[in-house]
Amino acid sequence: MAEERIRAVFAEAGAEGLLHAVPIGVGRADPTGVARADPGVPGSAVLAEPRVCEVAVGADEPVVLASVFKVLLVLEFARQVAAGQLDPRERVRVTATDRLGGWGTAGCADDVELSLRDLAFFAMSVSDNSAADLLLDRVGLDTVRLLAKELGLDRTRVVGGPRDVLESMLAEVGARDESEFAVRYPALPEDRKRRMAVLDPLRTNSGTPRETTELLRLIWRDEAGPPEVCAQVRDLMSRQLFRHRLVSGFPGGTVIAAKTGTLPGLHTEAGVVRYPDGGCYAVSVFARTRELAATGPEVDAAIGAAARIAVDFLRSAGL
């Protein structure tokens, strides 16, 4: 079975992996495994016999979203722009106090100024934490939470932005800044590392693999907002620069739009894979390494391999 092969791939990479994969465009996903008709999709029909329409490995287990939460954030931003609540050209200055370290504006040496829509671009393309944090300040944390509820993502939990995650990590190890964290963190006992709030789905931004693919399905089917909103999110996801996880598992000719997420010991990615024949599949993969200090290239490759197994299974079933 595909599920057993997926578990074996992660075990060989020294990790545990959770995954959900589902085709897009057959009608709303049905957890019973029956592809049902969608009145809004011409030509869709109820199948004569039940047929597996998903691959699920721990798909309903709670998982830490890490930067995958930025998909929901940028979706809410695009919805507010479409509603006339925000001007995407509004200028924002990123100063030293805003810089959280990492890619994009988060790692700049000097102050920079850019538009709200460019904040969204950097948040998605290079997972810029400062850009995401400033965008969240402008959009509003409560509205992102309300969006999750509106979309039926009842187990998706948003407690804060990248700054909240970073401050939580620093506080738990008693570090004043990132450089001190880099010194203190490796010396911590393994069990203390694993008890950190940012690695606990009950205390940080979290969801499930199934709800993550459902969010992607809604976006790809223009059901998460007006069509122009969903198209904007799809475009931004297609601009992600990181190609070492999902993309690594698929052949040339496939087009993948996705968002990664990374924390100590956690490697995640959620995205949509489109084949030249039009086949389109939402996949979310959440992997946890056995050793938190592991760099994880094998785990990253396992994410791509596991996603490929899942999608190949769905395609072999004619989905």
Q: Is residue 19's pLDDT more than 50?
A: yes
Return the higher-pLDDT residue of 49 and 142. Answer: 142
Question: What mean pLDDT, rounded, does the chain reach?
Answer: 90
pTM, full prediction = 0.90
Would you state the pLDDT for residue 186?
Answer: 86
Q: What is the pLDDT of residues 137-147, one digit of tens each?
A: 999 999 999 99
CA distances, 143 to each of 43, 77, 158 (Å):
36, 10, 10
pLDDT > 80? residue 55: yes
Q: How confident is the model at residue 185 (pLDDT cuts 50, 70, 90)?
A: confident
Instruction: Give me the mean pLDDT over the 234-251 stretch.
Output: 97
- The whole-number pLDDT of residue 101 equals 79
Confidence of residue 32 (pLDDT cuts 50, 70, 90): very low
pLDDT tens string 79-94: 999 999 999 999 999 9
pLDDT single digits (tens) 91-140: 999 999 999 878 899 889 999 999 999 999 999 999 999 999 999 999 99
- pLDDT at residue number 100: 87
Query: What pLDDT was estimated at residue 151?
Result: 99
Per-residue pLDDT, 208:
99
Domains and CATH numbers, the chain: 1-61+208-319 (3.40.710.10), 63-207 (3.40.710.10)
- Calculate mean pLDDT across residues 185-210: 93
Query: Which is more confidently placed, 132 or 50?
Result: 132
